């Protein structure tokens, strides 16, 4: 299995420079950056969160495409976006940027793209009423521009940049598909699949097969199968449970679980149990005092339906099930320190390279 890693992707750059030096020694196969404007922490609660020791503002995200060009000067590994959306960036812009980064970065470029999340769209005046339809239109033209250099409508719109970079081919398009229509689009247009919502290994394998079937129907090879898990290293899952109880604000990650998961635990999601979790939660819209109270009520078992938690052995056991169901290239988003802060980050320093080495053997 290939193992990629999400980079810090936030101000200040020095955090990335420091981590990239470490990650190069570990030997990760790819580097990634999310495309967020707002983050997952409420700014009024940030100072009470242990990770605030690392950054003054939880929403200080760099533009990932510009950031990727900088990263590309420091590594020969592929750089990817995990992930952007089709509402803020149209097909022509995405194609030109992808071809540019694929040409300039020694390791090439992977464009991760999905239908988007409310937090990066609605607060900034972008629509979010038919995001999958928007994505389908963009993917159709993006695929045509990257494959043929021309728009799908056969008009004069074209790319003048070379469609392939010497030694690394074309930029890859990885689609963050989850529901039936998105799985179809992944197979029809994607070179890879990069889901981020939690699902069990059997569901992962079943969806992977659906994608492969759609790809075959479209006359395309099955996309490379990835997964974008949010990982929190700890001494053990039991120890992590204790830490989340001691620092309950960390349990607010449960907000990003879908409403039916809240219902399963006998709770009511603040947006109602029809909530899609990651897709529609804008934590900044919620009252900070209400969130403090809510955090106390969220069970650790529900947090584990959003995050992968444990030591390297426990995590390797969890990911082995996905490998058996076709996972080929995992992209780890390491959020260690959400509870425990810098002390926990330092204490778990060897867990990530240990996990990387184990996963590489799967």
pLDDT for 238: 96
Question: In this structure, is residue 209 part of a structural domain?
Answer: yes
Tokens of 114: 């999905």
pLDDT confidence band for 53 (50 / 70 / 90): confident
> Region 346-361: what's the mean pLDDT?
97
What whole-number distance in Å separates Cα of residue 332 and Cα of residue 32? Answer: 9
Q: Is 95 helix (H, G, I), strand (E, B) or coil?
A: helix
- Kindly tell me if the per-residue pLDDT of 161 is higher than 90: yes
Within-domain flag for 314: yes
- pLDDT of 54 > 90? The answer is no
pLDDT above 90 (res 197): no
Number of neighbours of residue 328 by Cβ within 10 angstroms = 17
The answer as to whether 24 is a domain residue is yes
Report d(CA 7, CA 17) in Å as an integer: 10
Kindly report, residue by residue over 304-345, the tens digit of the pLDDT.
999 999 999 999 999 999 999 999 999 999 999 999 999 999
CB 16 within 8 A of CB 7: yes
Q: What is the pLDDT of residue 128?
A: 97
**36 close to 84: Cβ distance less than 8 angstroms:** no
**Residue length of the chain:** 362
Q: The tokens of 217 are what?
A: 């129907």
In the DSSP assignment, the letter for residue 62 is P
The residue written with tokens 């449970």 in the block is 241
- At residue 55 the predicted structure's pLDDT band, cuts being 50, 70 and 90, is confident
Q: What is the pLDDT of residue 210?
A: 98
- What phi, psi does 332 have (nearest 5°)? -85, 130
* The pair of three-digit structure tokens given for residue 229, joined into one six-digit string: 């898990």
Query: What number is the average pLDDT over the span 275-283?
Result: 95
Please indicate, yes or no, if residue 273 is contained in any of the structural domains.
no
Q: What pLDDT is stored for residue 335 in this prediction?
A: 96
CA torsion 98-214-177-84 (nearest 10°) is 10
Cα(108)–Cα(280) distance, integer angstroms:
32
For the chain, the domain total comes to 1
Within 10 angstroms of residue 307's Cβ, the number of other Cβ atoms is 23
Q: What is the CATH number of the domain that holds 334?
A: 3.20.20.30
- The answer to whether the peptide bond before residue 257 is cis (omega within 30 degrees of 0) is no
This prediction has a pTM of 0.97
H or E segment at 231? strand 230-233
Q: What pLDDT does residue 139 have?
A: 98
Report d(CA 177, CA 183) in Å as an integer.
Answer: 5
Is 329 a member of any domain?
A: yes
CA–CA distance, 221 with 206 (Å, rounded to integer): 17
Q: List the one residue out of 171, 182, 124, 126 whose CA is nearest residue 149.
A: 171
Angle at 74 between CA 69 and CA 77, to 5 degrees: 85
Query: What is the mean pLDDT of the segment spanning 283-287?
Result: 97
How do residues 233-278 score in pLDDT, each as one tens digit? 999 999 999 999 999 999 999 999 999 999 999 999 999 999 999 9
Model pLDDT, residue 276: 93
Per-residue pLDDT, averaged over 80-92, amounts to 97
Domain membership of residue 338 (yes or no) is yes
Cα–Cα distances in Å, from 219 out to 34, 176, 214, 215, 274? 30, 20, 9, 6, 36
pLDDT of residue 149: 98
Over its C-alpha atoms, the chain yields an Rg (Å, rounded) of: 20
**CB within 8 A of 202, min separation 6: which ones?**
325
Query: Residue 312 falls within a domain, yes or no?
Result: yes
pLDDT tens profile 7-46: 999 999 999 999 999 999 999 999 999 999 999 999 999 9
Mean pLDDT, rounded, of the chain? 96
Q: Is the pLDDT reported for residue 198 higher than 90?
A: no
The whole domain housing 193 covers 2-232+305-360
Assigned domain for 128 exists: yes
Residue 45 tokens read as 């609660």
Distance between CA atoms of residues 305 and 37, nearest Å = 24
């Amino acid at each position: 299995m290939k193992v990629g890693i999400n980079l810090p992707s936030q101000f200040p750059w020095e955090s990335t420079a420091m981590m990239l030096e470490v990650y190069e020694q570990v030997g990760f196969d790819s580097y990634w950056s999310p495309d967020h404007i707002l983050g997952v922490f409420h700014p009024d609660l940030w100072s009470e969160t242990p990770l605030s020791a690392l950054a003054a503002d939880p929403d200080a995200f760099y533009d990932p495409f510009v950031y990727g060009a900088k990263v590309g000067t420091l590594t020969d590994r592929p750089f990817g976006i995990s992930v952007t959306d089709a509402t803020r960036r149209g097909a022509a812009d995405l194609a030109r940027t992808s071809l540019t980064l694929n040409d300039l970065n020694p390791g090439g470029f992977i464009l991760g793209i999905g239908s988007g999340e409310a937090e990066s769209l609605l607060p900034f005046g972008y629509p979010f009423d038919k995001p999958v339809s928007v994505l389908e239109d963009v993917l159709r033209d993006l695929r045509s521009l990257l494959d043929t250099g021309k728009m799908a409508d056969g008009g004069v719109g074209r790319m003048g940049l070379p469609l392939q970079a010497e030694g690394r081919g074309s930029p890859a398009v990885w689609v963050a598909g989850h529901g039936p229509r998105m799985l179809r689009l992944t197979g029809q247009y994607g070179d890879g699949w990069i889901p981020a919502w939690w699902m069990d290994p059997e569901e992962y394998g079943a969806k992977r097969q659906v994608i492969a079937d759609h790809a075959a129907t479209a006359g395309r090879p099955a996309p490379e199968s990835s997964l974008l898990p949010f990982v929190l290293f700890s001494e053990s899952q039991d120890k992590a449970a204790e830490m989340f109880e001691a620092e309950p604000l960390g349990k607010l990650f449960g907000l990003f679980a879908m409403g039916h998961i809240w219902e399963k635990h006998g709770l009511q999601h603040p947006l109602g149990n029809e909530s899609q979790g990651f897709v529609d939660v804008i934590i900044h819209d919620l009252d900070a005092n209400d969130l403090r109270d809510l955090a106390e009520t969220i069970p650790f078992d529900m947090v584990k339906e959003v995050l992968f938690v444990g030591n390297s052995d426990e995590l390797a056991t969890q990911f082995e099930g996905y490998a058996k169901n076709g996972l080929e290239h995992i992209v780890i988003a390491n959020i260690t320190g959400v509870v425990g802060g810098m002390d926990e980050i330092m204490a778990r320093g060897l867990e990530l390279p240990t996990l990387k080495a184990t996963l590489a053997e799967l």
